[in-house]
Every structure is written in C-alpha cells, then in structure tokens.
Amino acid sequence: MKFFVDTAEIDAIAELNELGMVDGVTTNPSLILKSGRDIIEVTKEIADLVDGPVSAEVVATQAEAMIEEGRKLAGIADNIAIKLPLTWNGLKACKTLSSEGRMVNVTLCFSSNQALLAAKAGAAFISPFIGRLDDINLDGMELIADIRQIYDTYGFETEILAASIRNVNHVTDCARTGADVMTAPPEVIHKLALHPLTDKGLETFLNDWEKTGQKIL
C-alpha cells in the first residue's frame, strides 16, 4: 500500500520523504490555509520535493471553471493530480481533464456508487473519506471493501486512495481491505512505529548492556 502524506507543511513532508515513507502528497484548501502559504508557491515546492503524485484541489464549483483551474494547477509540475469534488460538475471536469491525459483525484467520496461514477469518468484516484463516515456511525472500511470488489470485478484501473485517516488502526484496516493508497497526517504515520512492548524491550536491553560495563565505541 502506498503512503501519501496529508499536509502542506514542507518540513514534515521532507522528514518522511528522507525515510522513503512518501509515495505522494495530498493537499486541500483547509491544509493550505493551515500552512499560511500561497497555493501555487507551496504546491510547486511540494511537487519539486517528492517524486509521486501531489494532489492540488480546485475551488470552483462549476465544470468549466473547474477545468480552467485544473489546467492551471496541472501546469505547476508534471506530478500534479488535480483534485475535484465528487459532484456532477466535478465528474464532468474529471472526464475532460482525464481525457487530456491529466491525473485526477476525485475526492469527498462517501458511497460505492460515487466511486463507480468516478472510475467511469477516468479518475486516476478515488478518495473515500473513512473518518468522516465513522463520525456518523457508518463503517468506512466497508466502503473500501465495496469499492475494491467493484473495481476488481470490472477491471477499473482507478486507485483507491483512502482518506480522512484518523488513527493507526485505520491504516492497518486499509491495508487489510485492499486500498491502493492511504493518505494520513504526518503524526499518524509517525505513530505507526510506536508500540509499548518495543519501548519496554529496548529499556531492558539497554539496562542489561549497562550492567556489562562494555562499550561499542
């Protein structure tokens, strides 16, 4: 499963990228606002930093304006994925932009029917929002499983990009369920390495080593 980082903070992306933990980056207007940066400037910096897809979201709501914004965003770098909302206008824009050979990430997906429409419109990625479904007592992982089954049955090449990842259990469940990609905030990715038994074991090893009185260097 590929790891995308869900942030517009350059330092956080760079740190994970150095470890080989970054297959791509997702941004949205909320993350751009949090970064306090100009959208074109920060998107270009991210796209120059990582090799994989960098999702940059349009803010228009009508198809023609979405297409215009999408083309401008795609012009920032070759690895830009134009992020479009899953509305009829978004699907129209997806069809046009994907037909032009541009990468499109259709976002704000909450049903398998929506995912089916995005695949038929030529989306490179579909982004189901796991955490937000959990917030209203629906099973986000069930949606991932349903989309996986539909895409596999009919041979759609659209990649399932699990979004709105809130915790490490979401990451595990996405990997088990067959998501192609998951995007998570840097802090969630960092937490994947944590386990109390690892900490306890390391403490024991270090205490025993100290008792030997030896040094390696």
| Annotated catalytic residue, options 83, 92, 191, 200 | 83
- Residue 211 annotated in active site: no
Rounded distance between C-alpha atoms, residue 130 and residue 127, angstroms? 9
Residue positions annotated with a catalytic role = 83
